Amino acid sequence: MDKPTFYITTPIFYPNDKLHIGHAYSTTVTDTIARYKRLRGFDVRFLTGTDENAQKVHRKAQEAGRDTLAFVDDIVASIKNLFTRLGISYDDYIRTTEPRHQEIVQKIFTKLYEKGDIYLGQYEGWYCTPDESYWTERQLVDGRCPDCGREVERVREPSYFFRMSRYADRLIRHYEEHPDFIVPESRKHEMQNNFLLPGLEDLCISRAAAGWGIPVPGDPKHVIYVWLDALTNYITALGYLSGDAEGEALFARFWPADVHVMAKEIVRFHAIYWPIMLMALDLPLPKQIIGHGWLLMKDGKMSKSKGNVVDPNVLIDRYGADALRYFLLRDIAFGQDGVFTLEAMMERLNFDLANDLGNLMHRTLSMVERFVGGVVPEPGPLTEVEAGIDALVAEAVSQVEQSLDRYDFAAALSAIWTIVRRGNRYIDEMAPWALAKAEDTSRLATVLYTTLDLVRVVSILLQPFMPHTPPRMWEQLGLVAGPDTDWEAARQPRRLPFGQWIDKAEPIFPRLDVAKEIEELDALVMGKPLSAELRPKEASAPVTEPGISAGNEAEGVATLISIDDFTRVELVVGRVVTAEKIEKADKLLKLHIDIGSETRQVVSGIARFYTPEQLVGQLVILVANLKPVTLRGVESHGMILAASAGEALVLATVSEGIAPGAKVK
Ligand code: ME8
């Protein structure tokens, strides 16, 4: 029988900067749903991508002095790398600069124009560039963007409009007839009360061409409004209107989408403009729009200017993708805002992963090795205790499924942990060490087998949430992925084969020293200084590692670091563009350094060694990932390297023939 289909999407992200942990959250949530549906037998199509035609992307590239597409290419590479690391199982990644998208957006525009849904008029109103949204005078709050509170710009230009009002009644009816169209429900009420019921105005859908974006067909003075362009990605990626047989078949198979996932601030575009565009195209509407909450920092939303943006790569480097995924899915109540703190993350990793899950596995595997020779034992007769465990597992699996069906990831994980905790209690109560001592081999085999089988059940259930962990667990259980690890096998007790060797490897989730982790992370993620205790120390004991000459130590080289420590420092080649003295600071110079992707302002204490004129045009090596500091009132975003000995100081440089932005490694 043909598998049922499931089409799920993330928003397409603006590639004007690297993604932060908020984007990682949205994508992880989407991935978890996609993986779960695959496990349940659906033919899943998972789409993500980047929204590249926005004016703010173009501006950011211009500020960095880069060609826009080259600038975007670099960011897209960093996004794809992050997604790979996080285990995001997308089937397609659409870039809105691709011909497969741009050509179809123009066809859609023409189609709607010919139908009379689009007309040329005159726009006069306000535009918020960071949000790429139009606002009327009435909608502004204290003269600012009602969504983000930033300044808006006055726009007065001939523009194309979409007759939204034509479809408002149909949309209101759709909401009424499909109570699950928007979740959580609170967001549906917001849409109805703030936008639909007051009356929909026609939407301006073009901007005067600004050198970037998809031109309006037949009128290239205008580019198509980025939201009309962006929203259609969900159908262009499937091949809508592509004219080729494969694309048309994909579209026929997967449209309408089952779920569009996003955070709350863009629900308006998806729940109002998008359905109306689809109605105008005579296409069915997506089945559901999920507007989750925001991941916040203690001091509010993450923003570059506040310096509170958390790079998920740092957390993946340190704890692995699955630990990060677990924390995000377990700690944030889906639909609501959640505050990200390192403390909360450390606690989760320690209590849930290292203590509960790590212990269950480690204790079990150790005992199998110690008491039964490292081979999965054949269980003896079962008792009421095991029957009780079977019932608990059956209930937990149902809870996981029901929770996932309502996107309550925290409840689903908590249900899995009822099995983990029961497993640990079972070991405590059954005391296999006492059974071994009493040489009760039959009961010992039953208890150890039951515990191992619980680990198998947990590994199956963890798959949607933590994709890298279950295969490692199977390896330790000597289990081969197959019928015994299928989703359905989670509710079938005692499917773990016996007689095979287990592999007692390292604990998957080691216990963390919370105070030390938090301090080191504060330095890495938030840029706070390390305490004296944790600062890398000068070597005081002789270096004993083979192959390292004692000379290193004699010259005062600090303790050895691993290659991982070194690669945390981002060294790039830069060219000094301007250099000037800083008033009342005779040692400091203010430099502007071109590092390829941007121009950095750096304050450097080299004024006694170099004149500004000597520096302009020089290639230097910049530590690019230092947290900004302010020196004598001037912000410094990085540090340039120099060699010093006694009174002498010479800048570290590289030979010509390499462009600014090149990595030094
Ligand atoms: O809005 N917490 O792109 P965008 C949770 N291109 N999720 C967050 C978040 C946070 N703090 N910050 C960002 C756009 N996100 C448009 C979308 S779709 C046709 C076009 C996630 O780069 C969340 O999914 O600003 C949010 O909706 C999205 O990133 C916004 O990404």
Beta bridge pairs of residue 651: 642
In a domain, 282, yes or no: no
Task: Band the pLDDT of 1: cuts 50, 70, 90.
Answer: low
Residue-wise pLDDT for 490-520, tens only, equals 999 999 999 999 997 678 898 999 888 888 8
Does ligand 1 have an atom closer than 6 angstroms to the CB of 214? Answer: no
Q: Note whether 378 and 514 are same-domain residues.
A: yes
CATH number of the domain residue 609 falls in: 2.40.50.140
> 51's torsion region: left (phi>0), alpha (psi -120 to 50) or beta?
beta
Above pLDDT 70, what percent of the chain?
Answer: 92
Q: Is the pLDDT of residue 535 over 70?
A: no
Tokens of 128: 């918020």
What pLDDT is attached to residue 525? 73
What pLDDT is attached to residue 540? 35
Q: Note whether 532 and 553 are same-domain residues.
A: no
- The helix (run of H) or strand (run of E) holding residue 86 is helix 68-86
* Main-chain dihedrals φ then ψ at residue 195, nearest 5 degrees: -125, -45
Q: Note whether 508 and 402 are same-domain residues.
A: yes
- Strands 219-224 and 215-216 turn out to be antiparallel
Angle between helices 359-372 and 469-477 (to 10 degrees): 10
Between the CA of 226 and the centroid of ligand 1 the distance, in Å, is 15
- The count of structural domains within the chain is 2
Q: Which of 604, 365, 375 is nearest to 499 (CA)?
A: 375
Q: Note whether 363 and 511 are same-domain residues.
A: yes
Sign of the alpha-carbon torsion through 191, 194, 199, 204: negative
Between the CA of 291 and the centroid of ligand 1 the distance, in Å, is 10
Domain end among 536, 564, 596:
536
Domain end among 536, 559, 586:
536
Q: Which atom of ligand 1 is nearest to the CA of 19?
A: 22
In a domain, 65, yes or no: no
Q: Which of 570, 543, 547 is nearest to 559 (CA)?
A: 543
- 182 burial level (CB within 10 Å; 0-12, 13-18, 19+): buried
Name the 3-class secondary structure at 198. Answer: coil
Q: Note whether 426 and 561 are same-domain residues.
A: no
What pLDDT is attached to residue 539? 35
In a domain, 298, yes or no: no
Between the CA of 262 and the centroid of ligand 1 the distance, in Å, is 6
Q: Note whether 454 and 426 are same-domain residues.
A: yes
Does ligand 1 have an atom closer than 6 angstroms to the CB of 461? Answer: no
Amino acid in position 496:
L
Q: Note whether 491 and 588 are same-domain residues.
A: no
Does ligand 1 have an atom closer than 6 angstroms to the CB of 295? Answer: yes
Q: Note whether 505 and 411 are same-domain residues.
A: yes
300-301 β-sheet, strand order: 300-301, 295-297, 338-339
pTM: 0.80
Instruction: Look over the chain and give the mean of its residue pLDDT values, rounded to a whole number.
Output: 89
Does ligand 1 have an atom closer than 6 angstroms to the CB of 162? Answer: no
Q: Note whether 459 and 591 are same-domain residues.
A: no
Q: Which domain holds residue 597?
A: 548-651
Q: Note whether 588 and 465 are same-domain residues.
A: no
User: Of 31-45, 146-160, 515-529, where does mean pLDDT reach its minimum?
Assistant: 515-529
Domain end among 536, 556, 581:
536
What pLDDT is attached to residue 170? 95
Residue-wise pLDDT for 147-201, tens only, equals 888 899 898 889 999 999 999 999 999 999 999 999 998 898 889 888 888 888 8
In a domain, 480, yes or no: yes
Does ligand 1 have an atom closer than 6 angstroms to the CB of 237? Answer: no
In a domain, 187, yes or no: no
CATH number of the domain residue 410 falls in: 1.10.730.10
Matching residue, tokens 């209590």? 351
In a domain, 602, yes or no: yes
186 Cβ contact list (under 8 Å, min separation 6): none
Does ligand 1 have an atom closer than 6 angstroms to the CB of 29? Answer: no
Q: Is the pLDDT of residue 555 over 50?
A: no
Q: Note whether 375 and 514 are same-domain residues.
A: yes
In a domain, 592, yes or no: yes
Residue-wise pLDDT for 80-137, tens only, equals 999 999 999 999 999 999 999 999 999 999 999 999 999 999 988 888 888 888 888 8
Q: Which atom of ligand 1 is nearest to the CA of 293?
A: 5
In a domain, 389, yes or no: yes
Which one is predicted more confidently, 452 or 593? 452
Atom 8, ligand 1: which residue's CA is nearest? 22
Residue-wise pLDDT for 249-292, tens only, equals 999 999 999 999 999 999 999 999 999 999 999 999 999 999 99
Q: Note whether 382 and 520 are same-domain residues.
A: yes
Atom 19, ligand 1: which residue's CA is nearest? 231
